[in-house]
């Protein structure tokens, strides 16, 4: 069941006969089943088959046809893919079971015990997605218990476990209520807010009607009040005179009083710095850095975005494939698997471009305008990536051709601000895209026309800082109030910069890196990258430096995201 649940994230249920290529057991089962079908078929004329050899050959062809049809369906609909086989810079979609069936090397590498352990870890890591699947609702009680018991369960809140269990019970209420008492013991109620426990657990109709569960509810309520029942170990100590033990008293309390946090509860808001070497998470409160993933395949000058679902995407960058004479410029597309610490390759952009904007709405990623890498022409086209269909499409164009602009998403709307137009002059125009209506409309223009600047949503306002104007670099900062649709001036940044990154993390606004004009030894000024971090004080209305240099910010895009410290390596 672990193997099946683990594969459900990427696979659809395989119909009978489609898994016959996996192993001898399935092949034998398939042979027996198809033989019965073959011999019972009214369309077979056995009288014309004058030898056992002809009969055997006809059966073989019949089985081969079924296998080919099933394999064709698997390949066309991509039902049987759960991994990628990489050879150099090539990647082939495949399935681990097929690899094991075809090669002794892969059979040893991907043996069943390893797969079982990997599948168990996969289920724990992806519990939030798996618990929504129909197959989760078909688990037997002992299978459900094995899924929700481990400390390694990747849930930020224990409420998710309780809600998943109650959905499972209601799928077959008559039979599963009998097992609820045993499953109930695997839920760690003391990790829930007391208000949630009172409003949702105590008042649940199934729990209220169960006298045995009501006794446990009473004990949990006492535990919230600070009164724990006497553990069995305490009783043994009093009887045997023991003083020390290997585990604490609380370890022998009932399972429903367990208050050990799940591994998924060690999630923290961090600033993710992604360059062409690594993705490093920075904690500004503790001044600590963690390795999130190596990023050797991530090109320089890419753009990045984090969605409302906390999914991190990397798009574009300067990459030239010299061997490809027809299309040397490529704009690749990656998604961060923050559990495995790896970058997953997705379909590249249909048209290679740079200096574009990124937005998200309704779980879709939007690439807005920019400059064509091949022709260097300004663009107004907008590409949309659908993660369900796994493909790019094109939507209504931006009203103007622009590049070097900033984009930001908020409440399902995508904002495009400033940039440079076809005549290479900065614009102060602002547009908003409504994905439900499918149209762009103008908003109040910025006070200062600029390009290559930073932007973030902070306290209900779109804040923009720095950038390039017609006169050169600027340190000016503006804020657009989303409720009044008006711009206001904010305190200037301490230094004129372009390509500065603005990030809102845990209610605080940070400014990271960028390019400034630095005086050289020759007394001349030249653009130079800086890698410091500043924080905006909302009370004092001023910027203050918190870190003079962080080398991981060199050539990096910066994002505010939530990552699990359990999955990160401290640097």
Residues 257 and 351 in one domain: no
Provide the number of structural domains found in the chain: 3
Q: What are phi and psi of 553, to 5 degrees?
A: -85, -5
Strand, helix or coil for residue 192: coil
- What pLDDT, on a 0 to 100 scale, did the predictor assign at position 65? 65
Q: Which residues of the chain have pLDDT under 70?
A: 1-82, 88-89, 109-115, 231-251, 320-322, 324-325
Q: Which of 411, 412, 428 is nearest to 420 (CA)?
A: 428
Angle of helix 159-171 versus helix 141-148 axis, rounded to 10: 170
What is the distance between the alpha carbons of residues 111 and 97, in angstroms, rounded to a whole number?
9
- What pLDDT, on a 0 to 100 scale, did the predictor assign at position 95? 73
Q: Identify the domain containing residue 209 by its residue range.
A: 136-228+251-263
Residues 181 and 214 in one domain: yes
Residues 105 and 145 in one domain: no
What is the distance between the alpha carbons of residues 433 and 441, in angstroms, rounded to a whole number?
7
- What pLDDT, on a 0 to 100 scale, did the predictor assign at position 549? 92
Last residue of a domain, one of 125, 149, 167: 125
Residues 297 and 374 in one domain: yes
Residue 523 in domain: yes
Last residue of a domain, one of 125, 145, 177: 125
- What pLDDT, on a 0 to 100 scale, did the predictor assign at position 20? 33
- What pLDDT, on a 0 to 100 scale, did the predictor assign at position 69? 66
Residues 209 and 353 in one domain: no
| Six token digits for residue 91 | 């990647």
- Residue 16 burial (C-beta neighbours within 10 Å; 0-12, 13-18, 19+): exposed
What is the distance between the alpha carbons of residues 262 and 258, in angstroms, rounded to a whole number?
10
Residues 209 and 355 in one domain: no
Strand, helix or coil for residue 443: strand
User: Contact 412/426 with Cβ under 8 angstroms?
Assistant: no
Taking the whole predicted model, whether its pTM rises above 0.85 is answered as: no
Residues 107 and 148 in one domain: no
- Residue 570 burial (C-beta neighbours within 10 Å; 0-12, 13-18, 19+): exposed
Residues 325 and 216 in one domain: no
Strand partners, 473: 468
- What pLDDT, on a 0 to 100 scale, did the predictor assign at position 100? 72
What is the distance between the alpha carbons of residues 325 and 535, in angstroms, rounded to a whole number?
47
Q: What CATH number is attached to the domain comprising 427?
A: 2.120.10.80
In the 3-class helix/strand/coil scheme, how is 335-348 assigned residue by residue?
Answer: EEECCCCEEEEECC
């Amino acid at each position: 069941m672990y193997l099946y649940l683990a594969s459900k994230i990427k696979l659809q249920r395989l119909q009978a006969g489609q898994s016959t290529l996996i192993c001898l057991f399935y092949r034998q089962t398939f042979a027996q089943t198809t033989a019965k079908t073959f011999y019972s078929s009214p369309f077979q004329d056995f009288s014309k088959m004058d030898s056992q050899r002809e009969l055997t050959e006809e059966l073989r062809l019949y089985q081969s046809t079924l296998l080919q049809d099933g394999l064709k369906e698997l390949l066309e609909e991509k039902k049987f893919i759960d991994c990628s086989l990489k050879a150099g810079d090539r990647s082939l979609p495949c399935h681990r079971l097929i690899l094991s069936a075809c090669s002794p090397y892969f059979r040893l590498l991907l043996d069943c015990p390893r797969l079982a352990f990997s599948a168990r870890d996969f289920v724990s890591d992806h519990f939030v997605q798996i618990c929504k699947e129909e197959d989760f609702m078909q688990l037997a009680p002992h299978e459900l218990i094995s899924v929700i018991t481990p400390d390694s369960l990747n849930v930020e809140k224990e409420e998710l476990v309780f809600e998943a269990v109650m959905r499972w019970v209601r799928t077959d209420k008559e039979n599963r209520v009998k097992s609820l008492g045993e499953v109930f013991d695997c839920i760690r109620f003391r990790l829930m807010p007391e208000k949630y426990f009172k409003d949702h657990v105590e008042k649940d109709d199934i729990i209220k009607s169960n006298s045995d569960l009501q006794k446990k509810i009473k004990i949990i309520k006492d535990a919230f009040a600070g009164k724990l029942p006497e553990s069995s170990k305490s009783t043994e100590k009093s009887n045997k005179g023991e003083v020390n033990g290997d585990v604490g008293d609380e370890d022998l309390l009932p399972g429903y009083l367990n208050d050990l946090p799940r591994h998924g509860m060690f999630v923290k808001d961090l600033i993710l710095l992604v360059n062409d070497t690594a993705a490093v998470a920075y904690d500004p409160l503790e001044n600590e850095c963690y390795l999130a993933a190596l990023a050797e395949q991530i090109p320089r000058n890419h753009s990045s975005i984090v969605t409302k679902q906390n999914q991190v995407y990397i798009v574009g960058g300067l990459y030239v494939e010299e061997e490809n004479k027809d299309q040397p410029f490529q704009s690749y597309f990656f998604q961060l698997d923050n559990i495995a610490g790896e970058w997953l390759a997705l379909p590249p952009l249909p048209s290679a471009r740079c200096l574009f904007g990124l937005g998200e709405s309704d779980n879709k990623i939007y690439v807005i305008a920019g400059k064509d890498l091949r022709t260097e022409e300004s663009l107004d086209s907008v590409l949309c990536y659908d993660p369900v269909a796994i493909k790019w499409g094109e939507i209504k164009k931006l009203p103007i051709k622009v590049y070097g602009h900033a984009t930001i998403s908020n409440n399902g709307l995508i904002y495009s601000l400033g940039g440079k137009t076809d005549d290479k002059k900065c614009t102060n125009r602002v547009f908003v895209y409504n994905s439900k209506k499918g149209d762009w409309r103008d908003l109040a223009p910025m006070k200062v026309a600029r390009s290559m600047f930073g932007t973030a949503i902070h306290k209900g306002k779109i804040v923009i800082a720095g950038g390039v104007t017609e006169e050169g670099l600027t340190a000016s900062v503006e804020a657009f109030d989303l409720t009044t649709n008006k711009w206001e001036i904010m305190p200037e940044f301490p230094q004129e910069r372009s390509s500065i990154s603005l990030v809102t993390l845990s209610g605080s606004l940070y400014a990271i890196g960028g390019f400034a004009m630095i005086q050289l030894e020759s007394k001349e000024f030249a653009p130079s990258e800086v890698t410091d971090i500043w924080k905006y004080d909302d009370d004092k209305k001023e910027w203050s430096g918190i870190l003079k240099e962080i080398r991981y910010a060199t050539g990096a895009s910066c994002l505010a995201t939530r990552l699990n410290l359990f999955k990160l390596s401290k640097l």
